[in-house]
Amino acid sequence: MDLQNKYMQLFLKEQIKVLLAQEGLKLKELAELISENTGKKCSPNALSLKLNRGTMTYNEAITIAGILGYKVQYIKEES
């Protein structure tokens, strides 16, 4: 994994932690919501491992954002 990709995965982990705190949810509750919304079993342990290992996919991150009531948006930086 290159440095930029590693940074993005760490950034993603921190962003999800922030969203959980804002929504007053624990990782266990998020895993339950993912299971309910996707129909795929998601354990808190598996979710934690994905975040810590940096193996969460873009689609998984988009799904989590949507479940929590957020959307991912790209904003061009001004030069």
Q: Which residue ranges make up each domain of the chain?
A: 3-67
Residues 6+ apart with CB under 8 A from 20: 26, 27, 30, 68
Using alpha carbons, select from 64, 27, 25, 62 the residue that is nearest to residue 44: 27
Q: How far does CA 1 lie from the centroid of its chain?
A: 18
DSSP annotation of 69 reads T
| Digit-coded pLDDT (tens) for 16-39 | 999 999 999 999 999 999 999 999
Sign of CA dihedral 6, 8, 9, 10: positive
3-state secondary structure of 75: coil
pTM of the model: 0.81
Q: Is the pLDDT of residue 3 over 90?
A: no
